Amino acid sequence: MSKPTPEDGYIAPYTHPAAGWGALKYVAINLVKEKVAGGKYVTLFRQNQPDGFDCPGCAWPDREHGSTFEFCENGVKAVAAEATSKRVTPEFFAENSVTSLLQQTDYELEQHGRLTHPMVYDAVADRYVAIDWYEAFALIARHLRALDTPDQAAFYTSGRASNEAAFLYQLFVRAYGTNNFPDCSNMCHEATSRGMPVTVGVGKATVLLDDFEHADTILIFGHNAATNHPRMLGELRECARRGAMIVSINPLRERGMERFTSPQHASEMITGSSTKIASMFVQPQLSGDFALIKGMAKRLVEMDDAARERGEPSLIDEDFVRRHTHGYDVFVADLRAENWDDLIEQSGTTRAEIDALTEVYARGKNVIACWGMGLTQHKNSVQTIQILTNLMMMRGNIGRPGAGLLPVRGHSNVQGNRTVGIEEQPTEAFLDRLEKVFNFEPPRKHGYDVVNTISAMLDGKVKVFVGLGGNFSAATPDTPRTQQALRQCDLTVHIATKLNRSHLVHGRDALILPTLGRTEVDMQNGVPQGITVEDSVCMVHVSYGMNQPASTHLLSETAIIARMAAATLGNRKIDWLWYAQDYSRIRNAIEKVLPGFEDYNARIAVPGGFHLTPPARDRIWDTPSGKAEFIVHPVVKDTPIQKLRAEHGDKLLVMMTTRSHDQYNTTIYGLNDRYRGVFGLRRVVFINPSDMERLGFRDGQHVDITSVWADGVTRHVEDFRIVPYDIPLGCIGTYYPETNPLVPLESTGDGCGTPTSKSVPVLLTAHVAEAAAA
Ligand SMILES: Nc1nc2c(c(=O)[nH]1)N[C@H]1C(S)=C(S)[C@@H](COP(=O)(O)OP(=O)(O)OC[C@H]3O[C@@H](n4cnc5c(=O)[nH]c(N)nc54)[C@H](O)[C@@H]3O)O[C@H]1N2
Ligand SMILES: Nc1nc2c(c(=O)[nH]1)N[C@H]1C(S)=C(S)[C@@H](COP(=O)(O)OP(=O)(O)OC[C@H]3O[C@@H](n4cnc5c(=O)[nH]c(N)nc54)[C@H](O)[C@@H]3O)O[C@H]1N2
Ligand SMILES: [Mo]
């Protein structure tokens, strides 16, 4: 093999701390690449500031004090991608047929820039052509009114929409008559949203940022902060410098957990020094966390027994357990009966590691547990999150300063979207309020989530798809089947800022409706409108765009929804257009429907906004028993993967699909994954060197990947480069969305319907071209 050139991509281990000058350099490169005009640079400095806009990147909360500019390389990328001066115009579509655009990579599609005009698909020319807004809404209305039942339409939401847009959207969809709300949450923190309410009565974080100042121990499960929530490193840095114990529980030793140079601190930047973040790394196998955490709980009971024997104080917060919980005795009996060998084997760690980790947990006076996609995208995710909350309950680590649960959300307003009603399984209480306030009968039957929407499309039961943001065809599992599903639709509609694959994988009729981004001035009736979002710690705050809109033809998301609703349902029962003229009217409506939003408009005028305090934070348990619940879950030994392993032997590997440093979900900003040492490449397979040798592959070799699932469907992707990596035996890692074709639609989490995109059973074979040449 010839020496790889930078054009082919190369692998070079990254030896520097996360962030620091490296990040600044890439910020500059990005601004030039996106041709962001000088005047807009100032925009970058106004993100997450009291009078600026909420960063459209991640959902990590802001520090209230506006004095320090919270620098974040990936936040800048998100803003620069929106502020780009490149444009996708009607002329662009005239020059490029849909078939030709389909040949481009996601990275190339992203590079074309911002959408400028509403477009409709012309089948004869195989091109999108401009359409005026009025005609576009009339087309949607025609389709929606022609369906046999409203349940033949599905309305997707990606978590960037504001509370105002999302609320109006769900109101429109329910007034139209369905609860078919597939959303990005279904693929993201759904296991959290379904798992936590059963144990602690609420599916949200119980901590605020201030709690980090009082925590002495922070457990971070399956979450890559340096890339996906870079501002979190600032918080962890402070904790580490105070001497807090930070533990990374992750099959990979992610760079950002090791060392971090804070761009906020000139001295670190100038002297090139850095702060060590995690003091301990535990590397479970993929989806081994359940067994690992159950092992910790069992070990804690053993340690408590020993402490009592020695006459020492109990390691269990007995007062908390007695006053606030239910089911403890049964839970402990199950732990005692659990077999250590099973726990160790299933976790992919050692007994010594479980003991050491439990020691750290037991020593912690105030513990925060954080988690991301590493816990939520497996078959046993709900069970894992429940056992984690139970472990935290054992020592009363919920509902007191410096301690609690922190699911680290993804999209910047995914949590707010759910709060205001983007939910295919709405509660009766919510529907009752909606009925009372708006005087119509909302549908009561639960709707389709993402996976069920795709199945229903394949079965011809869903015929119209509307996407409020996102990239449904690329973000979802089983790509060829999802694409077939979308192509079978009568109509697909995408409300979007930038061109993506979903616009090209369309129904018989298809619309692209271009919209304002978060960073742009949203003017209604001559008044700039603010929108509100809810971050990962349940703070609701206002955001004002500052840039001039990318095109004069754009409408805001709220305006698009209002006009779509008015065209479909008329403006008589609900005056949709009136709401869209002044967003404070929508907030008043939200206030009437949802608890916790009292004085909504007044409270967002305060810098930092207000906290939607989850009851569990005050040790109020919104469960049927009124107490926090301990739940017993067995260690499952005959999972589909274990059965497949019995069939395929140790050739079978379990694959996670994860994010590189240069992407935002399906939006590919660049081809580097700097902290993991990957440059100019995305088609890579991270594999343990022993597995590589055992399976007869060599460093740099190209392989094909086939997933195995008992449904007879062949799922296969080709030409991925082998990268030996520090990853547990039997596990491999690849990037999403390139490997989404391998994720079986029917493989979902128990109790949450999330595709198991971090435990995909696969086989590797030498890439055919190479095999032939050899
Ligand atoms: N720049 C940038 N920011 C983003 C995003 C982005 O794409 N780019 N996406 C946003 C969204 S929507 C989300 S949901 C978040 C995602 O942020 P993350 O939750 O960090 O998501 P992933 O990159 O998928 O990585 C998950 C981590 O889990 C680890 N992991 C995988 N499997 C397991 C396992 O079985 N156990 C454990 N313990 N760990 C495991 C992986 O090694 C990886 O470090 O980030 C948000 N922020
Ligand atoms: N295999 C695998 N699959 C996964 C995951 C994984 O880890 N592995 N992660 C899952 C997760 S956590 C998530 S959240 C989903 C993400 O799924 P989605 O939310 O559907 O995907 P995104 O890539 O975030 O969507 C990007 C598109 O949103 C549009 N957009 C950007 N900003 C705006 C805006 O302000 N308004 C509007 N209307 N449109 C906008 C742009 O057109 C852009 O192309 O993917 C899931 N899929
Ligand atoms: Mo997400």
For position 659, which CATH number holds? Answer: 2.40.40.20
Domain-located, residue 634: no
Q: Given 45, 61, 83, which residue is the final one in a domain?
A: 83
635: pLDDT strictly greater than 80: yes
* 84 within ligand 2 shell (Cβ under 6 A): no
CB 368 within 8 A of CB 537: no
- Asked whether residue 392 carries a pLDDT value surpassing 50, the answer given is yes
What is the model's pLDDT at position 259?
84
pLDDT above 60 (res 436) = yes
Is 359 in the same domain as 466?
Answer: no
DSSP 547: B
515 lines ligand 2 (CB under 6 A): yes
Q: Is the pLDDT of residue 319 over 60?
A: yes
Residues 303 and 215 in one domain: yes
Q: Of the candidates 751, 735, 768, which has an alpha carbon nearest to the alpha carbon of residue 760? A: 735
pLDDT bucket at 236, cuts 50 / 70 / 90: very high
pLDDT digits (tens, 9 = 90+) for 708-753: 998 989 999 999 999 999 999 999 999 999 999 999 999 999 999 9
For the question of whether the overall pTM of this predicted structure is more than 0.85, the answer is yes
pLDDT at 69: 43
Q: Check pLDDT > 90 for residue 171.
A: yes
Higher pLDDT, 39 or 684: 684
In a domain? residue 596? yes
**pLDDT for residue 297 is more than 50:** yes
CB 278 within 8 A of CB 257: yes
Question: Is a pLDDT exceeding 90 seen at residue 268?
Answer: no
| Parent domain of 673 | 640-773
What average pLDDT does the chain have?
93
Residues 681-698, mean pLDDT to the nearest whole number: 98
Indicate if ligand 2 lies below 6 Å from the C-beta of 57. Answer: no
Q: Is there a domain that residue 48 lies in?
A: yes
**Could you tell me the distance, in angstroms and rounded to a whole number, from the CA of residue 475 to the centre of ligand 2?**
6
- Which of 77, 79, 228, 682 has the most ligand 1 atoms within 8 A of CB, as the residue to mutate? 228
Shared domain check, 608 and 530: yes
Residues 70 and 95 in one domain: no
- Tell me how far the alpha carbon of residue 412 lies from the centroid of ligand 3, in angstroms: 9
Domain limit, last residue, from 41, 68, 83: 83
Considering the domain boundaries, does residue 625 fall inside one?
A: no
On the 0-12 / 13-18 / 19+ scale of CB atoms within 10 A, 296 is: buried
Same domain for 176 and 103, yes or no, is yes
Percent of the chain with pLDDT over 90: 83
Rounded to an integer, what distance in angstroms lies between the CA atom of residue 362 and that of residue 364?
Answer: 5
Nearest CA to ligand 1 atom 24: 658
Does 541 map to a domain? yes
Domain limit, last residue, from 49, 64, 83 = 83
Domain count along the chain:
4
Examine the domain organization and report whether 370 and 474 are in the same domain.
Answer: no
Query: Looking at the domain assignment, is residue 650 inside a domain?
Result: yes
Residues 395 and 543 in one domain: no
- Give me the pLDDT at residue 272, please: 75
Are 522 and 516 a contacting pair, CB within 8 Å? yes
Altogether, the residues listed in the chain come to a count of 774
Q: Which residues surround ligand 3, an ion (CB under 5 A)?
A: 188, 410
Q: Which tens digit of pLDDT belongs to each residue from 560-571?
A: 999 999 999 999
CATH number at residue 287: 3.40.228.10
Residue 665 Cα, ligand 1 centroid: separation in angstroms? Answer: 10
Does residue 227 share a domain with residue 101? no
Q: Is residue 632 part of a domain?
A: no
As a whole number of angstroms, the distance between CA 568 and CA 175 comes to 10
Q: How far is the CA of 58 from the centre of ligand 3 (A)?
A: 9
In this model, does residue 681 exceed pLDDT 80?
A: yes
Query: Distance (Å, rounded) from C-alpha 227 to C-alpha 225?
Result: 5
Alpha helices (H) along 243-372: 266-271, 289-309, 318-324, 328-337, 340-347, 351-363
Q: What is the per-residue pLDDT for 67? A: 36
* For the chain, percent of residues with pLDDT exceeding 70: 94
Residue 1 lies in a domain: no
Q: Provide CB contacts within 8 A for 393, sequence distance 6+.
A: 199, 200, 320, 321, 324, 325, 628, 630
pLDDT by residue (tens digit) across 23-78? 766 676 667 677 776 556 556 656 666 567 888 888 888 876 443 445 688 888 88
